[in-house]
Amino acid sequence: MKKLPYLITLLVLTSCTILTREAIYWDADIDDYKVFPTYDFKENNKKYSFCPKKVNLLDTMLFKNAKGEKETLDELLKGTKTSQFIVIQNDTILYEGNFNGYKRSDYTTLFSISKSVTSLLVGIAIDEGLIESVNDTITKYVPELRNKAPEFNELTIKQLLNMQAGLDFNENYSSPLSDMARLYYGTNQLGKLKRMKFAHKPGTYHTYQSAQTALLGIVVEKVTGKNLGEYFEEKVWKPLQMENKGSWSLDDKRHRSAKSYCGLNLSAIDLAKIGRLYLNKGKFKDQQIVSENWIDATLTNYPKNNNYNYQWYNGFIAGTDEEGIPYFTDSLQALKRYENVYANKRYNTSYYIFKSCIKDWTNKKYIKYCQKHYNWTDINECRWELSVLTGRFQTLGIMHQILYIDPIKNIIIVRLGETDYSNYKHGRYENLMEEIMNALPPND
């Protein structure tokens, strides 16, 4: 963990609790479950195990590292900041690697993968009749918001699921004074959410904001009367027979409201079981954990919403130019590249081209990376990105935590670890996963 260098500013402008947490722990790290109070899941007596690893093509398949050298998957990942990496097909482990001192049983903070699990819990609450419909307004279940910003009274659960609330919320991970930092390191998250204002009319604008998932978590806690971690333990953790320890981080010891947008702490092998649940249409053995309708609604392509649907991403690869750069000078260049390179590949179903402006980004590390490696020095310059939709689906954490599933080939891939822009080219672990999935044989 890294110490925050500007304590004086924080002393003046932030609360004592936020100051203490930020000063000691800034910025976020994969062991942040140690920072906050947690709801710890009880160990299961019954534990589900995937079939053990058997000899397969991934043992000898070669991949290019950042220098263009060919390495085995094991060799490649040893040179990264990956902690755990698992490939599973047809319930059989094809590859499992643990690196940088981590063991199979270790769990880490999943960050925004927690959002997708919160979506799962919303679906379960709907199945149980605790939430009537995704079209209900949030104030039906969180009455504390009724007399706050008037937009809350028209904000629906579906809009929150698709990040279309229109909140005035700064998702800046690098500033200690941002809305994100105050939500993450602060206490009493409902108290902070009640003070939120709106920048857009709900349903008219897609903006990725953790505060929206925080509101979804509050809804689930209100309708169940339980801490989100407790509800997860009852409805998912126990039924899926998770094998290692895990927890869900809370806002503080008094309110004990779970950080639904970032606070789930699991091992890779247990996260893979959630992927398996989605591949099996919400079913585990003979038990329907969540309805098939909810899974189908979630795993539907929504490219016009930035490939984002019900807190999951449509599976895509970042289209690159001839030099492997994932940005194009104009949209026609991106379209031509799609038609010439990507259109005829078996699992690529469609594409989406969109403008990307570096001045709008908040990840300063990646900005510096692009300025250095892509000669993108003009802060006012915009370029174009090409998303090639694959028919696969993924959920992502800020440090390249990834759960990737292929419903056609029945594949699950999990990568946990820290952000890495140097050792693996472009930090595009999604492209590595696509390469693995394309190489594996079709589902039997």
- pLDDT class of 14 with cuts at 50, 70, 90: very low
- pLDDT class of 434 with cuts at 50, 70, 90: confident
Joined tokens for residue 367:
């900005």
Mean pLDDT value of segment 395-409: 94
**Contact status, residue 424 vs residue 433, Cβ threshold 8 Å:** no
Mean pLDDT value of segment 67-95: 94
User: Which pLDDT tens digit goes with each residue over 364-393?
Assistant: 788 888 999 999 999 899 999 998 888 899
Whether the pLDDT of residue 5 is over 60: the answer is no
**CA nearest to 159, candidates 189, 133, 182, 126:** 133
Mean pLDDT value of segment 194-211: 96
Q: What is the dihedral of CA 315, 335, 324, 408, to 10 degrees?
A: 30
Residues 6+ apart with CB under 8 A from 68: none
Q: What is the CA radius of gyration of the chain?
A: 21
Q: Could you tell me the pTM of the whole model? A: 0.86
Read off the amino acid at residue 295: I
Q: Which stretches does DSSP call E strand in 90-218?
A: 92-98, 108-109
What pLDDT score was predicted for residue 71?
Answer: 93
What pLDDT score was predicted for residue 106?
Answer: 98
**Contact status, residue 155 vs residue 165, Cβ threshold 8 Å:** yes
**Contact status, residue 280 vs residue 425, Cβ threshold 8 Å:** no
| Weakest mean pLDDT among 29-38, 232-241, 341-350, 362-371 | 341-350
User: Which pLDDT tens digit goes with each residue over 406-432?
Assistant: 999 999 999 999 987 655 554 578 888
Q: Is 100 left (phi over 0), alpha (psi -120 to 50) or beta?
A: left
Residue with tokens 């390249």: 400
| Weakest mean pLDDT among 37-41, 278-282, 369-373, 401-405 | 369-373
Residue with tokens 């802060």: 379
Indicate the DSSP class of residue 3: -
The three-class DSSP label of residue 196 is coil
